[in-house]
Amino acid sequence: MEFHFDDDDLIWNISNEKPVHSRFDSLLKNQWEIAAEAGVCRYRLTNLQTKILPGKYGFVAQLNSDRATQRRLPQNLQKVNSPFDGTLFNFNKVPAQEVLLKPGNKVAAAAATSGKIKDNEATDAVVIINVSPLEFGNSLLVPNVTANIPQRITQEGLDLLVRLMLLSTDVDLKAGFNSPGGYASVNHQHYHLYYLRERLYLETAAVEPIAGPCFALTDFPSKGFAFQLTDNDPALLAKNVFTLVSYLCANEIAHNLFVTRGKRFGGTLAADDVYDTLRVFVWAREPAFGVKEEIGFNPALCELAGHLLIKEPPAYQVVTEKEAAQLLDSITAPWFERVGAQIAHLFAFAT
C-alpha cells in the first residue's frame, strides 16, 4: 500500500502515555495484522511471556522460543563490509503479501505521477513484515529495495527511518539496526520497526556530552553513544549519526543502533510530561561473525537497549539483571573506549 508523507506530517512531541494513533501507526498496525492473520509469518505471535527484571534498569525480558527455532537461518557473514550477494536470500525475493507499505515523499510521488521525475531520482522504499517477528508490528524498513545495498547504514536510509519514527504518535514504537557482526541475519539493507508496550530505561537515561552532538551513554550496562533530535531537523540527526556509523564501517567495527522517543537530554520528566525528542543510540561492540548463537539471548539491537529476547524457558526463568548487565558491558565497554577516543576528531567541526 502506498503511503505518502512530507515534513508537515511529522510529529515532534508526544505523550508518554497511550496516545491516539497517527495515520502511520493505524496503517502499519492494520496492515501488519492483516498479513499475520493471513498466515505469512512462520509462527503466530500470541501474548509473549514478559517480565520486568528486578533492578535499577528495568530490563524487559520476553520468552520467544518460536523465533529461536523457526526463523530463517542467518547468513554466514564474516566482515562488516560484506558485499551484496544476489544468489542469497534478499528482500527482492519476498512475495507481495509480505509487503505492508511503500512509504514515499508526497512531492516525489506527485512528480512521478506527472512523469516529471527521472528514473535515477526514484527510490524504492518498502516496509516488509518480519516473518519471524520478535514483537507486535515487527517489520523491516528497506529504504531502496532494488538498489541491492548490503546491510550497512546509509545517511539516506537513516533519514527515512527517522522520519517514519516521527510520523508515529505511539510511544511504543521502536526501531533499530544490526550490522554484520552485530547479529544481522540478511545482508540487504534493512532496519527493524516494532512496538513494545513496556517502557525502557533508555527513554530517559542520563547521558554526558563528548563532542558536538555526540553524547556518552554511561549510566547503563551497554556502553555506547547517544544522539537526539534538535531544531526539529531529522536530516541533521541522520547526518550526525551517520558521521559515527561511517567511521565504524570504515574501520570494520561491528555495531548496533536503536531509536526511541524519549526525554530531551538533560530534561526532567514529570508524570504528565511529554516525550520531546527522538533518541538514537549507537553501540560499537564485540563482533559475532558467522552463524553464532548465544545460549540465553543474542545481544543485538533489542538486548543492548534493555529488551531481552530469551530463547528457552529455563533461561527465561533464571535470567537476572546482574548477569545480563555483565554480558552487555563486556561486549561494549572496550569498544566504547576505543571509539570514544575518536569522537572529538569526528565531530570537531559539528555544532
Residues 6+ apart with CB under 8 A from 1: 27, 31, 100, 101, 102
Copy the grid coordinates of residue 92.
Answer: 527482492
The Cα–Cα gap between 194 and 301 comes to 12
Copy the grid coordinates of residue 227.
Answer: 544522539
Q: Determine the Cα angle at 312 with ends 307 and 314, to 5°.
A: 105
Spatial contact of 212 and 292, defined as CB atoms under 8 Å apart: no
User: Could you give the strand order of the β-sheet that contains 208-211, starting from the edge strand earlier in sequence?
Assistant: 2-5, 99-105, 126-129, 139-142, 191-195, 173-178, 255-262, 277-284, 224-228, 214-217, 208-211
Q: Which phi and psi (to 5°) does residue 70 adopt?
A: -115, -5
* Amino acid making up residue 56: K
Instruction: Tell me which of 188, 190, 255, 307 is the catalytic residue.
Output: 190
* Residue 307 designated active-site: no
Active site residues: 190
